[in-house]
Copies of this chain bind each other. A is one copy, B any other.
């Protein structure tokens, strides 16, 4: 069995691992995301050390973004226009691949996690599904017709505009680009700014959770009518809030109002909108799957 390297490259921390899949992780480290030089250097040092012990076949990187995931582009594997200091136009995949002399699979963090869920988790056997992370930010990726979603660049699903009832929720939104887009209304920082305390400190009966489920349900019903996914997988810290899945599933059904006539939605919504099969490991295991895909 070929040994894979995976990097879950987040804006806050990097997770690097070596192994073969969910049950075959041989070694793993995590460290904060600082400058590109230091952070990429630590990742390279980890894999160089591992390569002395095992025969590494390829590296996969599931990266924060925006990124350039187009293998035909001269800036393939770059983090592109991020506001994160030092990381704009950083050649992440190239630096790793050259240092280690290995092929590199590279995609967005959410496409990587989607591929992990496809390979080993809640999306096995599907060809059209979506994966979201709802936490510090909101990102969405997935597969359509058996391929990871790319297109012009890659999806930025957190930036969808949603109906916003200003009387019920006068919060103006926290997105620096769009104000009250999905991420601006519903990511962790928006919850913190709206309620004056971090989401994880809000009690289970706080109205924040119902409002949060409302925005997520609005977004999901929009993604359902746009993509017609066979399943939606929702990860990220906010999704561990109280009753989030039951609340948003029932509101999705209300919003669609029977229009999408599929038993998968009408009868089996509990298996249609689900938590990641890999728990909080979709990202790093997805990076393994990205590595596997270039072999």
A→B interface (CB under 8 Å): 66, 80-81, 127-128, 140, 144-164, 177-178, 218, 221-223, 225-230, 255, 257-262, 264-265
Of B149, B150, B221, the contact of A161 (CB 8 Å cutoff): B221
Q: Please, which residues of chain B bring their CB within 8 A of the CB of A262?
A: 152-153
Given A144-B144, A144-B145, A164 and B161 contact (CB-CB distance below 8 Å) = no
Q: Which residues of B contact A222 (CB under 8 A)?
A: 160-161, 222, 226
Residues of B contacting A228 with CB < 8 Å? 149-156
> What copy number does this chain have within its complex?
2
Q: Are B151 and A227 in contact (CB under 8 A)?
A: yes
| Interface of chain A, main secondary structure | loop
**Contact between A257 and B80 (Cβ–Cβ < 8 Å)?**
no
A157 contact from B226, B255, B257, Cβ within 8 A: B226
Chain B hits for A264, CB < 8 A = 152
Contact (Cβ within 8 A) B163 A162:
yes
- Pick from B128, B148, B221, B223: contact of A150, CB under 8 Å: B128
14 pairs, CB–CB < 8 Å, chain A vs chain B: A80-B261, A128-B152, A145-B149, A145-B150, A149-B227, A151-B228, A152-B228, A155-B228, A160-B225, A161-B218, A177-B257, A178-B255, A178-B257, A227-B227
Distance in angstroms between the alpha carbons of A226 and B182 in the assembled complex = 12
